[in-house]
Structure 1
Amino acid sequence: MLHRKSLTLLLASTLLAGLAGTARAEVHVVASIKPVHSLVAAVMEGVGEPGLIIEGAGSPHTYALKPSQAQMLEQADLIFWVGHELEAFLEKPLETIGAKAKTVELLDAPGLVKLGFREGGAFEPHHHGGEAGEQEGEAGHDHDAHETHESGHDHPEAEHDHEAGHDHDHAHGAFDAHVWLDPVNAKAMVGEIETALVEADPDNGARYHANAEAVRARLDALNQEVAQQIEPVRGKGFVVFHDGYQYFEHRFDIPASGSITVSPEVLPGAERIAEIRTRVKELGAACVFAEPQFEPKLVATVLEGTQARSGVLDPLGAGLEPGPGLYFELIRAMSTSLTTCLSQDG
């Protein structure tokens, strides 16, 4: 009897070991920024964990690759990033030390909504007859309020002499690369992530498919949740640190009045600060938002002499722990920060 029981336990442990072996990812996966890493981790949940390049409060606009991260790229089989427009610092490393890996540029994901750069930090109305942006696989939005805020054109070189030489990510293409801040775009990104993982690791394809379906359902719920939360503060003016939020603004119909700087790499001069302060006063903007990655004193300077309050928007999840839940925490935190500041009296 004891022998039979021992044999049963041995068979069970062997079966579990076999299942565990099947569950392990057959590929080494790396993601560039926290929001992308979160979506990849969610699709890989129960199979493996992707590596992360930009940790902590690092920004893709100013990041320098570390030796340990270079080694991660060298060992990778599959690398996910937004693309040249955002993580320009990865361009050469991907062509050299990460050359053996398959690179997935999520800016090219089918169904992704793409919006063109806006033409200056104050988002002045302009009329070029162009579309608001390029949308692949999705019908256009009907938010009329955005027609004067979005354009498929690059920033004119002469715009704001004190901010000449816009950042390099703007120079690579015609689209704003902060695409993940729209949960509908996150769904498109999940589809691309799912496809790449299944192709690279077909043995775990069923798990990837099931995880991706679950993530898409959560993103639909998140979209509805945030839309309801934002509803009471729509129409209230606010200013952001840099123009990186238009996908969130567009999705939830809550346009910013302007930004302190078009490029997070080029600090604004005194003339630009005075211009934004005047703009805040003229518009009666309720809030000016800083970012964890950049200099908060600039926001304090802009606020001088105005009635606006300050808040923080974190588009990259600087203060959040990496993992499958980070993306959802990030979007909820942005929504909460906006509604908390904009709903205050005074």
Structure 2
Amino acid sequence: MSMQRFQQSHDSACMPAALRLRSRAPWLCAALLTGALGPAAAAADVPRVVTDIAPLHSLAARVMAGLGAPEQVVRGGASPHGYAMRPSEAAALASADAVFWIGPELTPWLEDTIGTVAPDADVTALLHAPGATVMAFREGPVFDNHGDEGESHAAHDDHDHGHEDHQGHAHEGHSEHGEDHTEEAHEDDHDHAHDHADEGDADEGDADEGQAGHDHAGHDHSGEDPHAWLSPENAKAWLDVMAEKLAELDPENAEAYAANAAEGRAEIDAAAEDAARILAPAKGARFVVFHDAYHYFEHHFGIHAVGSIAAGDASDPGPARLEAVRAMIRDLGVTCVLSEPALSPAVVRTVIEGSPASAGVIDPLGGDIPSGADFYPALLRDVATRLAECAG
């Protein structure tokens, strides 16, 4: 059957209710009739919202509480750096009236997909949204954290990345941060590890990218760090951005969106206070993370990893980088090395062999936390708890 005939045969059945906000592709109509898009499709007057990752899904769920339920593209337990969408996820994206995502800095593969699958959706990239703080990736396996010079308040009210329609969200010219960093308190201890770090950087290109389900094509881990959801302040700013955007699309519920965002901010403040108490025993601890995904969390709570096994995009580390990490663990007296659930613990066992460091597991995406409005506050507490248990 031709696409034109398919559309003619299905438009009359779908258009009045499920497609009230916007006409969709005919194949999606069939998905709507079978309920593939879930409860959000039933609320015809409420915008259909899709997010990329679980933390943003949680924030959207908080803003939409009592009105609708957002969809999520990257499922829990999967790496956002490289992901193959399932048909149901593509269908959800195609049906979206609003898309909230971190941006191409985290999921470069998703940028073209949004333009192709959801060309009419209102797309908001949150990394540079008003009120958000953007930080730089840290270079090499050994971090220089003093002062967090990588911080960049790049998102101002006049910044147009956050609220633009998809047609203009190409994000041209992402700047790389070349700031010089000063040494942290243990400068002398870093010298030997930095010698190895130089070797690790040179060898980084030898890593077999694409293993463990990662596809890092086009992902730049030398510039802006997209793991910004682990900043409670960023999350609170994004609640407001979401509420304002949904109010534009659905003015009748503007007050409800604003009230929900206010409740969400209070919940995040409470969770951040809990996390700070949990982390108190770990202040000053020397720990290593698997990949550079926790800079925002560390900066907010005043704790600092001394290095990472892999770069910020979680690409597989080469042998020289692993040797640099082993030297760092030995020379800096590291007490904790944190892996992640989707990754093999063998790498961590290798780098801590012969040292007194313990191994822990931490998940920046909260794969084991139930999805929904309560997810984000739970994520802050979970990351703090796992870090404190290993490093405290």
Matches within 5 A, 1:55-134: 55-124=75-144, 131-134=149-152
Matches within 5 A, 1:210-225: 210-225=259-274
Amino acid at match of 1:178: H
Aligned match of 1:189 in 228, 231, 238? 238
Shift of 1:116: 1.1
Shift of 1:229: 2.0
Partner of 1:161: 202
Partner of 2:57: 37
Task: Mark the CA change 1:90 to 1:38 in structure 2 (over 3 Å): closer, same or farther.
Answer: same
Matched, 1:273 2:293: no
For 1:173 and 1:212, the matched residues in 2 are separated by 33
Whether contact under 8 Å (2:231, 2:296) holds in the other structure is yes
Shift of 1:161: 2.0
Corresponding residue pairs, total = 307
Task: Mark the CA change 1:106 to 1:148 in structure 2 (over 3 Å): closer, same or farther.
Answer: farther
Partner of 1:324: 373
Whether contact under 8 Å (2:126, 2:238) holds in the other structure is yes
Whether contact under 8 Å (2:53, 2:101) holds in the other structure is yes
Query: Which piece of structure 1 moves more, 244-253 or 197-206?
Result: 197-206
Whether contact under 8 Å (1:24, 1:47) holds in the other structure is no
For 1:62 and 1:90, the matched residues in 2 are separated by 9
Partner of 2:171: none
Any gaps of 5 or more consecutive residues in structure 1? 1-22, 139-145, 150-156
For 1:233 and 1:259, the matched residues in 2 are separated by 18
Matches within 5 A, 1:232-247: 232-247=281-296
Any gaps of 5 or more consecutive residues in structure 2? 1-42, 158-180, 185-197, 210-215
Partner of 2:190: none
Task: Mark the CA change 1:310 to 1:50 in structure 2 (over 3 Å): closer, same or farther.
Answer: same
Amino acid at match of 2:233: V
Shift of 1:174: 3.2
For 1:55 and 1:201, the matched residues in 2 are separated by 27
Shift of 1:35: 0.3
Shift of 1:26: 2.1
Shift of 1:265: 4.4
For 1:96 and 1:121, the matched residues in 2 are separated by 37
Shift of 1:175: 1.3
For 1:325 and 1:131, the matched residues in 2 are separated by 32
Secondary structure at the residue paired with 2:225?
Answer: coil
Whether contact under 8 Å (2:135, 2:224) holds in the other structure is yes
Partner of 1:141: none
TM-score by length of 1: 0.82
Task: Mark the CA change 1:241 to 1:41 in structure 2 (over 3 Å): closer, same or farther.
Answer: same
Task: Mark the CA change 1:264 to 1:133 in structure 2 (over 3 Å): closer, same or farther.
Answer: closer
For 1:173 and 1:110, the matched residues in 2 are separated by 23
Secondary structure at the residue paired with 1:171?
Answer: coil
Query: Which piece of structure 1 moves more, 107-116 or 267-276?
Result: 267-276
Partner of 2:251: 202
Runs of 4+ in 1 over 6 A off after TM superposition: none
Amino acid at match of 2:202: D
TM-score by length of 2: 0.73
Task: Mark the CA change 1:212 to 1:126 in structure 2 (over 3 Å): closer, same or farther.
Answer: closer
What per-residue deviation string (whole Å, max 9, x for no partner) do you get for residues 155-196 of structure 1? xx9971221289556528831010010111111111111111
For 1:82 and 1:200, the matched residues in 2 are separated by 20
Task: Mark the CA change 1:328 to 1:223 in structure 2 (over 3 Å): closer, same or farther.
Answer: same
For 2:259 and 2:222, the matched residues in 1 are separated by 34
Amino acid at match of 1:279: M
Matched, 1:174 2:223: yes
For 2:305 and 2:384, the matched residues in 1 are separated by 13
Partner of 1:19: none
For 1:225 and 1:175, the matched residues in 2 are separated by 28
Partner of 2:18: none
Whether contact under 8 Å (2:292, 2:310) holds in the other structure is yes
Shift of 1:331: 1.0
Amino acid at match of 2:59: L
Partner of 1:16: none
Matched, 1:311 2:336: no
What per-residue deviation string (whole Å, max 9, x for no partner) do you get for residues 224-243 of structure 1? 22122212210010000001
Identical-residue share of aligned pairs (%): 40
For 2:199 and 2:71, the matched residues in 1 are separated by 41
Amino acid at match of 1:40: A
